Every structure is written in C-alpha cells, then in structure tokens.
C-alpha cells in the first residue's frame, strides 16, 4: 500500500476517523507515525504502546463490532511547526443504531515528518453524562474575547 | 503573586503536581497558560475549558478531599520548539492511605511562551485494571530498537 501524504493534521485526523468508519485496518495504521512509541488509550482504559499492540487492538475492535461511525467536533487545537494537538469531542454510532453513544473526549497528537502529518497519540475517555464541555465563558460570563496565543 | 518561570515542560509539570500535593490553588493555576482555551479533563469525565472553570473545579477538589499525592512516570514525550506533549502514568495517594489509587493515564500538553513553558491541556482517565501499559515489544517481541523521530 502506498503511504498517503497528509498535508495537515486535519487531513490525517479525517483519514483516521474515515478508516474507522470503513473498518480499514491498513488505512488506519497508515495514519500513525512510523514510531515505536506511538500511544493509543481507549475509553476502556486500555493503553497500547507501539504499532503492533495498536494494530492488534483495532483489529479486534473491527472484528467484534458492527460498523462504527465517529463524528467529531474539534473544540480547540494547538499548532506548532512540528506538532499539532487537537482536543475533540467524539460522538459514536454503532451499526444502524440511530442513537449516539458518547460523547467521548479525545486528545489527538500529530507530528509533521518527511511523509507529512501523522498521529503520535490518540487518548480517548468517556465524557461525564451530558457534560461534554463546561466552559468558563458560559459558566461565569467572562467578558474576555477568544484569544489564541499560538496561532 | 509573582509568576514563576518554567524553563522546560518538565519544570512546569513538576510544579503542577507539586501544587496538587500542597493543595495550592494559586500555584496550580500559575502553571496553566494564559489562554482562554486551556482544557482540563478529569477522570470523572468532566471537561473544563478556560481558567475560571478549571480553577473552580480544582478549588472544589482541594476542598473536598484529603491531601493528594500524585506520583508520575513519564512514558513518552514528544517535543518541538513550541509544544511539548507528555504521556504519563499517574499514581494517586489520598491522605495517609498507604494504598495507591490508579493508575491514571494523563496526556499533558505544554506550550512555550514569553513566560516559559505553561500547561495547555491536562487530560486524565482511569487505566484498565492492571493494564497501565500494553507494549508492542513485550507483547509481540518486536526486534526493533527504541527510536524517536522528533528528538
């Protein structure tokens, strides 16, 4: 399989969730960085380190579940020249079920290399019921506008 | 309070967990970046965004718990000029209890700014029982040595 080139972390992230939706293990693994120390933390609390353990865990997930559809909303991202970190809220649909599972909270870490942007870490955990986000501005009426220090 | 200067993400991280150990809310908040979009995800699944919501949650944690001691083991870190991401395993001790809680899995994201390194995101979730880390090399006997692409 020819490795795809991802021009941005957003492109790599889209390919990652698209591969989940198609249960395409090769495409999924292709999004990860070529690094022995990539990390995947599942909502079950299982922490996988390295491509072999991560591949096996996703192979089992695809084998033991109906098709998964993950919709994501990126809450905030922090970009630098070589790293890009996204804090996203995932909503999960199993097979034909109309009811969503989640929300799940993910921190996705991407790295720029010779082959474009790739995934270094995918940390997912279950959100508290109905509390995917508690925002200072909503909670406390801060008058400060949105401000980003990094991009 | 004079803002401390953290010369590295490791220094900022040490100050963060030290502040937790002393239930020092001002010191804890001082580690965070001066940014409206900082994110703190607790093991409960609560996601706080912005300094006011994060401060209030830690105030409540300190008010409602015995002293907390968090020991951390950094599994892997990914560094660039402006961002530094640590994947760490936390072990939590409550008050004088000799038995540890956890392990907890954290992804800590740090940013370099004019005032040194500061915390942008702290994402913690509970590890599966007895499975803080599942490693490719242990699980599958990979012969590849350790290799880091970024530093």
Beta pairing class for B39-41 and B47-49: antiparallel
- Chain A residues lying within 8 Å of B127, measured CB to CB: 45, 47
Q: According to the 3-state scheme, what is the secondary structure of A34-57?
A: CCCCCEEECCCCCEEECHHHHHHH
CA A53 to chain centroid: 17
Parts of chain A with a pLDDT under 70:
1-2, 129-151
Chain A residues touching residue B148 (CB < 8 angstroms): 35, 37
Residue A74 contacts residue A108 (beta carbons within 8 Å): no
Whether B133 shows a pLDDT value over 50: the answer reads: no
Q: What is the average per-residue pLDDT within B4-19? A: 97
Q: Which of B82, B126, B150 sits opposite A150 (nearest CB)?
A: B82
Q: What whole-number distance in Å separates Cα of residue A126 and Cα of residue A42?
A: 9
Tokens 């900022």 locate to B12
- A111 and B48 within 8 Å at the Cβ level: the answer is no
Mean pLDDT, to the nearest integer, of B62-76? 94
> Is there a contact between A87 and B36 if contact means CB atoms under 8 Å apart?
no
Q: A134, B46: Cβ pair inside 8 Å?
A: yes
Share of chain A above pLDDT 90, in %: 75
Give the pLDDT confidence of A23-42 residue by residue, as tens digits. 999 999 999 999 999 999 99
Instruction: Name the average pLDDT for chain A.
Output: 87
CB contact under 8 A, B105 and A82: no
Are B127 and A87 within 8 A, CB to CB? no
Interface test with A, best of B114, B139, B149, B151 (most A CBs within 10 A): B149
Kindly list the domain boundaries of chain B, sorted by start residue: 9-128
CA–CA separation, A44 and A21 (whole Å): 19
Chain A CB within 8 Å of residue B143 CB: no
What are the tens digits of pLDDT across the range B27-41?
Answer: 999 999 999 999 999
pLDDT at B130 over 50: yes
pLDDT value, residue A75: 87
Burial (Cβ within 10 Å: 0-12, 13-18, ≥19) of residue A113: middle
C-alpha pair distances (Å), A61 with each of A56, A94, A122, A125, B77: 9, 12, 15, 16, 27
Pair of tokens at residue B97: 């209890």
Structure pTM?
Answer: 0.86
Per the listing, tokens 């030290």 go with B18
Query: Which residue in B42, B53, B59, B74 has the most chain A C-beta atoms within 10 A of its own C-beta, making it the best mutation to test that interface?
Result: B53
Asked if B107 has any chain A CB less than 8 Å from its own CB, the reply is yes
pLDDT confidence of residue A148? 33
Average pLDDT in chain B:
87
- Are B130 and B96 contacting, i.e. CB atoms less than 8 angstroms apart? no
- CATH number of the domain at B9-128, out of 3.40.50.2300, 3.40.50.300, 3.10.450.50, 3.40.50.970? 3.10.450.50
Residue A113 and residue A115: Cα distance in Å, rounded?
5
Q: How confident is the model at residue B13 (pLDDT cuts 50, 70, 90)?
A: very high
Q: Residue B70: pLDDT band by 50, 70, 90 thresholds?
A: very high
């Amino acid at each position: 399989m020819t490795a795809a080139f991802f021009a941005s972390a957003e492109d790599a992230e889209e390919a990652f969730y698209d591969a989940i939706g198609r249960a395409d293990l090769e495409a999924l693994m292709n999004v990860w960085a070529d690094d022995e120390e990539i990390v995947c933390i599942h909502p079950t609390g299982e922490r996988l380190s390295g491509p072999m353990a991560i591949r096996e865990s996703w192979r089992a997930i695809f084998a033991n579940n109906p098709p998964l559809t993950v919709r994501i909303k990126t809450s905030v991202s922090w970009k630098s020249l070589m790293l890009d970190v996204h804090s996203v809220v995932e909503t999960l649909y199993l097979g034909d079920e109309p009811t969503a599972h989640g929300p799940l909270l993910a921190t996705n870490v991407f790295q720029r290399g010779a082959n474009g942007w790739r995934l270094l870490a995918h940390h997912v955990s279950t959100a508290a019921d109905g509390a995917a986000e508690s925002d200072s501005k909503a909670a406390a009426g801060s008058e400060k506008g949105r401000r980003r220090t990094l991009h």
